[in-house]
Each structure stands twice: as C-alpha cells, then as structure tokens.
Amino acid sequence: MAGMEKYLRPEVIRQVARLDLRAKFIVQGFLTGLHASPFHGFSVEFSEHRNYVPGDDLKYLDWNVYGKTEKYYIKKFEAETNMTGYLVMDLSQSMGWTFRQELTKFEYGICLAAALGYLMIHQQDPVGLVTFDTALRAVIPPHSKRTQLGSILAVLANLKPTGTTDIPHCLHQVAGLARGKSLIMLFSDLLTDPEPLLQSLYHIRHRGHEVILFHILDEAEVHFPFDGMIEFEDIEAHEKLTVDSKGIKGDYLKSMNEFREHLRTECSKANIDYIGMDTSVSFDKALLEYLLQRQRRFG
C-alpha cells in the first residue's frame, strides 16, 4: 500500500464514526441552569420549554409562546462544549522500525491519528497536527473543515521518522501551543527517561488540557520473540550489542513490563488516558476497544 489512502480504510472509518470521542468536560456551576461557562468555545443549544417558576430569570421567557397561549414558559438549553484536538506525532527514528509486522510503529500511529482525526471532524470538532523530534517540526492549526483531514494526512504521508528525539522538551512546547481546553493525543514509543516525560505530561494537564497517550511499541519490543545470539543495534545512537537472547529474555520482559506499568500508574494519578499498544494487534481493533471503554466511562 502506498500513499495516505492506506491510513484511512473505509471499513475502519465506518466503525469509528459511530463512537463519540468527545471528552466529558465537567462545567462547574453549569448544571441545568444558564450560568456562564468557564471554557472558551462553549455554546448552548435550544432544547425545550418548561413552565415558569418564580425566581427564574425573565430574559429567558419565551414571549412568542406567551403571545399565543398567555402562559409563561422558560426556554431550556443544552450545553455543548466544542473540543479542540491536537494529533501529536513522534518523528524519532525508532518509530520507523518493525521486526516482522506490515506497519512500522510510525505507520501504526498514523493509522490511529487518521481515524481519530476523522472522528473529531465528523463531530465538527477542530483538530490540528504537531510533529516533533528534538523540536516541533510541522504545526497545522486546528480546524473542523472537511478538507482538514486531507491536509493532515498529506503532511504525515510525506514524513519519515529520522534522528533522535526530545519528547519532554517538545511536550512542554505543546503545552504552551495549545489554546483553550484541548485534547492532546500523543503517538509515540516513549523510548525516553520516564520521569522528565511524566513532568511534561503533568505540565499539559496543569494547563487544563486532556491527554490521551498512545504508547506504541513493536510486537518484538513487547514479546521479545528472539532465539540464540542476536546482534541488536540502537537505530538512533547506532550502538551495537550482541547478546544471548534466551539468557536476557526474562530480565528484558520484566523491565519492559515495569516501565509500561509505571507509566500507566502515574498517568492514572494525573487523569491521563494511557493506552499501551503493540503492532501485532490491528490498529482498528485496538482503537475501537479503547473508544468503547471511553464511551462507557464517560457515558
């Protein structure tokens, strides 16, 4: 498969479009009344009428209804919060690796981003793109127009993950870049020191943004399916190491599981959605499972 079309398979779109990704922003003070929202981009839509009750604000009386019925009715409204999303893609060279799967980690991330971008635009929510390695590279401001997804995929389809990365530094920049209350969706293998990474995620949360962290690893990184003496190469530092794979498999898997569980635990404490993924599970299945869980959780 070539070009950006492979990242937007029609059967996947038909599935994810049924689900609502909207984050559940709890608007303090806005229950069924007509209080001002603390969030930018907040709007209300007319829902129905109810009988006037002494003490109700007279400016919400429906005088047209009164003129026809000589009865007092109050307009009721439903709150609607527009969500601005940012697809944040790691361009480190390690993202371009695969052991035996069809998709590299980077291509897997693009598939996820394409489906999520489509879903947000389908909901008329603005979505933009940020790519990074040691610094922010491409930045497409959020829009909800239908052509936005094509613009995003056209950029991603022409990118190649190369070189080193500085995830914490770039996430601090993303925290300052995002406006209002946004949804930051990060796609990365997170091969970095976890503590600075977590600090940058806390910074994003402190700014009031919601975060979904898609931790994408190759199936070989998760399951270590090697036998015998194997030469491994760090594709970013270009350092090589020959090891007895059977001898280190237990320690490797223990360390990897501890790393992922540490991220999961700390993200949970900060109300960050941590989604551990490996490329042996089809991206559409993994994404749908997560979206269903999210839908059940938020209602």
Per-residue model confidence (pLDDT) at position 166: 96
Q: Which residues contact 180 (CB under 8 A, 6 or more apart)?
A: 39, 40, 41, 84
Domain boundary among the residues 50, 65, 81 is at: 81
Residue 228 in domain: yes
Residues 254 and 175 in one domain: yes
Residue 32 placed within a domain: no
Q: Is 31 among the domain residues?
A: no
Range of the domain at 61: 42-81
pLDDT number for residue 15 = 62
Q: What is the pLDDT of residue 119?
A: 80
One domain for residues 64 and 198: no
73 and 157 housed in the same domain = no
Task: For residues 138 and 151, state if they share a domain.
Answer: yes
**Do 137 and 260 belong to one domain?**
yes
Q: How far apart are CA 203 and CA 200, in angstroms?
A: 5
Do 104 and 77 share a structural domain?
no
Domain match, 139 and 163 both: yes
Looking at the structure, tell me whether residues 240 and 150 fall in a common domain: yes
Residues 172 and 100 in one domain: yes
pTM: 0.77
Does residue 238 lie in a domain region? yes
Please give the pLDDT value at position 260.
97
Q: What is the pLDDT of residue 233?
A: 78
For residue 28, tell me if it sits in a domain: no
Tell me whether strands 240-244 and 229-233 are parallel, antiparallel or unpaired: antiparallel
Total number of domains in the chain:
2
Those residues whose C-beta lies under 8 Å from the C-beta of residue 275, and which sit 6 or more positions away, are 212, 213, 214, 215, 286, 290
3 state SS for the chain: CCCHHHHCCHHHHHHHCCCCCCCCCCCCCCCCCCCCCCCCCEEEEEEEEEECCCCCCHHHECHHHHHHHCCCEEEEEEEEECCEEEEEEECCHHHHCCCCCCCCHHHHHHHHHHHHHHHHHHCCCCEEEEEECCCEEEEEEEECCCCHHHHHHHHHHCCCCCCCCCHHHHHHHHHHHCCCCEEEEEEECCCCCHHHHHHHHHHHHHCCCEEEEEEEECHHHHHCCCCCEEEEECCCCCCEEEEEHHHHHHHHHHHHHHHHHHHHHHHHHCCCEEEEEECCCCHHHHHHHHHHHHHHHHC
In a shared domain, residues 139 and 192 = yes
Cα atoms in the 13 Å half-sphere on the side-chain side of 110: 28
- Residues 52 and 106 both lie in one domain: no
Residue 186 resides in a domain: yes
Alpha-carbon span 183 to 205, nearest angstrom: 10
Tens-digit pLDDT profile for the chain (299 aa)?
Answer: 455 666 666 666 666 665 555 433 322 222 223 233 322 333 444 456 667 777 666 777 788 878 888 888 776 554 455 789 999 999 999 999 999 998 899 999 998 898 888 888 877 889 999 999 999 999 999 999 989 988 998 898 888 898 899 999 999 999 999 988 899 999 999 999 999 999 999 999 999 999 999 999 999 999 999 988 988 877 666 788 888 888 899 999 999 999 999 999 999 999 999 999 999 998 878 887 887 777 666 65
Place of tokens 């981009």: 41
Same domain, 91 and 122: yes
Q: Does a structural domain hold residue 184?
A: yes
The pLDDT, as a whole number, for residue 77 is: 52
Q: Answer yes or no: is 222 within a domain.
A: yes
Record the tokens describing residue 22, joined without a space: 């909207």
The answer to whether 243 and 233 have CB atoms below 8 angstroms apart is no
112 in Cβ contact with 287 (< 8 Å): yes
Tell me what pLDDT residue 33 has.
31
